[in-house]
Amino acid sequence: MSIKCPKCQHENPDTLKFCGECGIRLPSLEDVEVTDTMEAPKEELTTGSTFAGRYQIIEELGKGGMGKVYRVLDKKLKEEIALKLIKPEIAKDKKTLERFHNELKLARKISQRNVGRMYELMEENGVHFITMEYVPGEDLRSLIRRIGQLTIGKSISIAKQVCEGLAEAHRLGVVHRDLKSNNIMIDKEGNVRIMDFGIARSLESKGITGVGVMIGTPEYMSPEQAEAKDVDRRSDIYSFGVILYEMLTGKVPFEGDTPLSIAIKQKTESPRDPSLYNAQIPDGLRRVILYCLEKDKEKRYQNTGELLTDLNKVQKGLTTAERIFPKKKIKKDKKLMINKKNVMIGTVIVALLILLGWVGYLFFGEPSTMIDSIAILPFDLETENPDIEYLSDGISESLINKLSQVSDLTVISRHSAFQYKGKSPNIQKVGQELGVKSVLAGRIVERRDELTISVELVDARKDKVIWGEQYPQKKLSDITSIQEDISREISEKLKIKLTGEQRERLAKRYTGNTEAYESYLKGRFYWNKRTEEGMRRGLEFFNEAIEIDPSYALAYAGLADSYNLLSRYSYSSPEEAMPKAIAAAQKALEIDDTLGEAYTSLAFAKRYYEYDWGAATIEYEKALKYTPGYATAHHWYAIHLSGLGRYDESFKEIKIAQKLDPLSIIINTNVAWMYYFARQYDRAIEQFQKSLEMDPNFAVTRLRLGRALLQKGLYEEAIEQFQKAITLSGASTDMIAALGHAHAVSGNKAEAENILNQLLELSKEKYVSSYEIAVLYLGLDMKEKALDRLERAYTERGQYLVYLGIDPRLDYLRSDPRFKALLKKMNLE
């Protein structure tokens, strides 16, 4: 409640006795002049007035879909209660009022300490209102807004009390149906009460609401509520899951600009893993939340008893400190006594702090000088056996992958680090080009099946060696232990603080079999070539590694990556490759559910093949949780967000990928690609040209530059880029289709039709993207055939369909009912 100053009109909290603005004494509730009884108020009662000749208004507590709620003094009973005015449009129907009476009778049977009591439904001068128990304290939503994320212990304490209140209500057949953090009160002792029981149940009966009115609170609605289906106690359990999520993360799972958009998300999108917002959430509690939030009510907890059992299990696993429910600090109305002793102690403390600061500066330097970034260059290889090139690449890549799991260390990705392969670069220059403070360089010498590995960790700013080591006469079977030693030494020499989990993951061995590890390294070596031949050869080696060690999670992740890109580059049809990619990624995660590479692979497949945007988002976020320095995860996640039109978020992610992999031609190209989809063609063209300066022979950059030029009406320049892309790619069908589309929109219909016929003939022998043929048809003004091909692309699970909602080339179709239906089918509308 706030009190308005009678002098300056400043609004003051009711805890103040004097105005915070002008300092005069504020009137107390007793000082407020009581006005006459109000006649038929329209949801507006003023402080100090008396309503219905009985209820003196103390303050407004809040408002919702039914009306406003006030804290009042019942002058007849001499106690404070809560009073809710029902909106006239809701109360005008006699049947509605009858239902209220019936539900209220049922709700009044609930006598449990965690449930606020309901009293009566009454009427005064045509205004209907409900009286209920007033619970002094703070509602849960206000508490979360005030302090942010709640502690694990406090959240579980509140959750258990809510659960116990729900259990009693459900036993009596009462379903809340509007459970939300606003409806949960917490008193000064930490006791919880659920408010407004029985009301929302009545509101969902037929005939109460007008057309287009959404009943309930969208942020807390279960999917079945959003679909206006019958609801039961499992709907309350879903809402409970939202509240638990909100307590632990400070936010609800789904937000939107309109109630309808939020309701749609409740039906169609998977919630983001709460541990992405709060890493302190125990895994057991995370599972409880996600189990509550299952879309299918048959997959949720079926009753509050099951839910309470799991909450108790989680609570037992907490430390004593985590279980404590923090009590509010009591403000003492006393002045602190400052004496000479206090002053002396304070002076000594300040002096010590200054001294410690100087000692820290002298010994450790300024905080900005700390080394928090590193590039691991490909190891030089000295050998008479050219067939073990994979080994030098593999060791470097394995170290990059291991250290990318450390959240406080920026590790440059393989693509950028390997730009220096076969060279003897200046370390300081490498540091400047890659934007890192340290560089690890290594050398492998192979003689008669024996290896000598030498490494140096260098401060790139000063070209000064921080640490160096040589591992002589090591055999291949010792490689994994050497990698562990190097990873540990780097973290120690750079003074990186590692959590226990990070230490375990750095020391983790994914296979104990040397032959399996060797096959895996060969698989990655060929996969990184990004050619059809290379990826198929990589598949052979990944399968070989799995045959040797069926529990080798990284090898399964390699399989998933190979199948993903074979489909993405149209070397295989999606139907042939993508189910295998999904199966391999899921198998990897069955073996190791912390493998960021596998989550990234699975997210890719969820997006490009299953068109499951929510699931893809969750998998990408899991990948970034476990491997925050994995550039590919940031890169692919950025493209995914761009496809959903979430450009601000996508640019943020692609910038992180750029930082981790500054010399990656594909990442730099895709920065421009996002500008293209955002219709910022000039910026896109400028960025594409910068990418070509890095590598003028990268066909994808020329393809996409051509598309941006085409949108600007620069037909000749676009056609030139498409022709170069075809030459560089070895006549990729996607690039041939792009050339045909360019000829079509530039007016050269004959050449466009010639290319179209070539592609249609070629599609009889190999996979040709129906999406790109559709775009070519559109350029030829064959609208219906274009739509036929887009629908066929959907049947084929064509990967370019992920851009259906943002591709500028399809703008002409956006008002067409068939196109809208396809967008809706893909959940892109």
> Which residues are annotated as catalytic?
178
Give, as one character, the DSSP assignment of residue 18.
Answer: B
Give, as one character, the DSSP assignment of residue 663.
Answer: T
- The DSSP-derived string for 271-331 is PPPGGGT-TTS-HHHHHHHHHHT-SSGGGS-SSHHHHHHHHHHHHHTS-HHHH--PPPPPP
- The DSSP-derived string for 612-648 is -HHHHHHHHHHHHHH-TT-HHHHHHHHHHHHHTT-HH
Give, as one character, the DSSP assignment of residue 376.
Answer: E
Whole-angstrom Cα distance, residue 67 to residue 42? 10
Whole-angstrom Cα distance, residue 176 to residue 183? 10
Length of the chain in terms of residues written: 829
Hunting for tokens 């600009």 — which residue is that? 257
Query: DSSP 3-state helix, strand, coil percentages of the chain (rounded to 5)?
Result: 55, 10, 35
Hunting for tokens 């959404």 — which residue is that? 214
Pairing of strands 373-376, 127-133: unpaired
Q: Are 149 and 83 in contact (CB under 8 A)?
A: no
Q: Are 378 and 623 in contact (CB under 8 A)?
A: no
Q: Are 256 and 221 in contact (CB under 8 A)?
A: no
Amino acid found at 321 = A
Q: Which residues, listed in sequence order, are joined to residue 118 by a DSSP beta bridge?
A: 132
Whole-angstrom Cα distance, residue 647 to residue 666? 18
Whole-angstrom Cα distance, residue 124 to residue 809? 63
Whole-angstrom Cα distance, residue 504 to residue 210? 59
Burial tier of 369 (Cβ tally within 10 Å: 0-12, 13-18, 19+): exposed
In degrees rounded to 5, what are phi and psi of residue 804? -55, -35
Closest by CA to 706, choosing from 689, 729, 727, 731, is 689
Hunting for tokens 């001499």 — which residue is that? 78
First to last CA, the chain: 43
- Write the CB contacts of 636 (distance below 8 Å, at least 6 apart in sequence): 600, 603, 604, 620
Instruction: Identify the three-state secondary structure at position 767.
Output: coil
Helix ranges, 549-608 (H)? 553-568, 574-591, 596-608
Hunting for tokens 């009462």 — which residue is that? 174
Residue 751 CA to chain centroid, in angstroms? Answer: 46
Burial tier of 743 (Cβ tally within 10 Å: 0-12, 13-18, 19+): buried
Tokens of 550: 């069926």
Burial tier of 775 (Cβ tally within 10 Å: 0-12, 13-18, 19+): buried
Q: Angle at Cα 310 formed by Cα 306 and Cα 312, nearest 5°?
A: 115
Pairing of strands 127-133, 79-85: antiparallel
Hunting for tokens 């030459």 — which residue is that? 727
Per residue in 232-264, is it b (16+ CB within 10 Å) or e — as a string? ebbbbbbbbbbbbbbbbbebbbbeeeebeebbb
What CA–CA distances, in Å, run from 317 to 101, 104, 260, 285, 311?
45, 40, 40, 10, 10
